[in-house]
Structure 1
Amino acid sequence: MSLVLACGLVTAGAVEARAGTTFTPSGGPAVNLVGTNVVFHFDEIGQDFRCSPFNIAGQVTSPGTGRAFGSEAVDLGGLTDTCSNPIWGLTDFSADPAWRLTVTGAATGPTWPVRLEQMAMSLSALNCTVKFGGAVDGTFDTSTQRFTPSTSALLVSSVTGSMCVMLDFQVGDHALLQGYFTNLPPAGSGPLSIS
């Protein structure tokens, strides 16, 4: 009987540990992250590029299927944006459509740690194109449907054009994503859920 009890405890512990390393996204299937007060702040040059609107659309990846932390929850890539800078004025923003939202760990209440990754994008104006990218960590609250960035690992990878000296962009400069995004799914789709 002791052996059976011990085996039961081991089994229960194994299940608990396994459950603590996976998640299951559901809902949608369409996701529409609507940005509020979205700013790309470039640390070294002290410049802000404010974007309004800045919306990111996509689809829940295989809803209802469990997967390990660090895996994709939402495939993103449809961007709607208008960005501007006090010096550059209206600025063209373009992005690679390979963005994705991953879940990186266990939830605290309704709040999940997430990462917006595979972000490759560029800003262009006045004969200057600045390419930058990387990942942004943050949280997604399933009760409010809000993604809030916390830390950014966004670096400038390329600076091209004679007018880039105006703002003194340099390869290796850091960018910070500010603001927040609220999921407002289109008709026929529901809120994003994670369990």
Structure 2
Amino acid sequence: MQPLRNVRTSRAGVSGLVVALLTIALILSMPGPARAATTYTPTGGAVSFVSSGLSFTDIEAAQTVSCGSLNLYGTVSSSGTSRAYGADMVALSQMGSGICNQSLCGPVTTTPVGTWTLAITGDWTSWSVWPARLKNVRLSLSCAGCTFRLTGVINGTFHTSTQRFAPVWGASGLVVDAAVPPSGAMCVTLDILAGDTIEVGGSWTSMSSSVAISNP
């Protein structure tokens, strides 16, 4: 009877192997998040990201700069060309000064510095919603008696259906720049210190040509 038990064992092993192979084949054939991609392809042309309800809050100091306008303009880089997640898809090389205000120090001159970029950082998380990041962000702020700069990234999501970039809740990836430390008596009053983390509220929506995203 021993050989019979061995035959059953062999058949069970073969059956299990077939099921495993079929499962792997099914997963590999599925689109979207079931099979994680490593690259993406943006298509589009000139974009104009108009801000809405934008604000920058120093989380540790509990102080907020609210902006009625801080728009970003640029162009999709190498439209139709695949690239790795995290690689830039839009270069935002044209930016206007913001119209902003702070409750204690009044009007705030808010000036973007350099060229910001926008990138997709991973597979879509729900229909038309992709994890995204504004990179190379540098933003100089100055009000009566206080000057400082924000630097880093703004993590968020890009919605292809609405063309809207929405920052994450809480710490965004921006910090008060230690290389350009806060200066002025009002910065002491506001308790703004180098290294403080920044929450970004509101959103930016492209009002010009649409940006489409596909895999790979």
TM tier relative to shorter chain:
0.7 to 0.9
Verify: 1:118 aligned to 2:136, yes or no.
yes
What is the one-letter code of the residue matched to 2:117?
R
Letter in 2 for 1:144: T
Amino acid at match of 1:94: T
Work out whether residues 147 and 184 of structure 2, in 8 Å CA contact, stay in contact via their aligned partners in 1. yes
Indicate which of 45, 56, 62 corresponds to 2:78.
62
2:93 corresponding residue in structure 1: 77
Query: Residue type of the partner of 1:37?
Result: G
Equivalent residue pairs, number:
181
Q: Structure 1: how far apart are the matches of 2:76 and 2:176?
A: 29
Q: What's the offset of the Cα at 1:142?
A: 0.7
- Deviates most, 160-169 or 102-111: 160-169
Any gaps of 5 or more consecutive residues in structure 2?
1-20
* TM-score w.r.t. length of structure 1: 0.85
Q: What is the distance in 1 between the residues matched to 2:35 and 2:113?
A: 34
Deviation at 1:111, TM superposition (A): 1.1
Deviation at 1:130, TM superposition (A): 0.8
Residue equivalent to 2:186: 163
Give me the whole-angstrom Cα distance separating, in 2, the residues matched to 1:164 and 1:144.
Answer: 38
Contact 1:77 1:96 (8 Å CA) reproduced: no
* Secondary structure class of the residue paired with 2:168: strand
RMSD: 2.2
Partner of 2:166: 148
Letter in structure 2 aligned against 1:121? L
More helix by share: 2
Larger Rg: 2
User: Is 1:96 the equivalent of 2:119?
Assistant: no
Contact 2:49/2:205 (<8 A) preserved: yes
Deviations 1:36-92 (A, max 9, x none): 110001111111111011211111011111111110011013223211111111111
**Secondary structure in 2 matching 1:76:** strand
Q: CA deviation at 1:100?
A: 0.5
- Three-state SS of the structure 2 residue aligned to 1:165 is helix
Amino acid at match of 1:179: G
Match of 1:31 among 41, 47, 70: 47
Unaligned runs of 5+ in 1: 1-5
Distance 1:79 1:177 in 2: 18
Counterpart amino acid of residue 211 in structure 2: L
Q: Which of residues 147, 152, 162 in structure 2 aligns to 1:134? A: 152
> Which amino acid letter does the alignment assign opposite residue 156 of structure 1?
V
- Structure 1 Cα separation of the partners of residues 190 and 168 of structure 2: 26
CA distance in 2, matches of 1:174, 1:84: 19
Amino acid at match of 2:197: H
Structure 2 Cα separation of the partners of residues 23 and 104 of structure 1: 9
Of 170, 174, 192, the residue aligned with 2:197 is 174
Q: CA deviation at 1:19?
A: 8.1
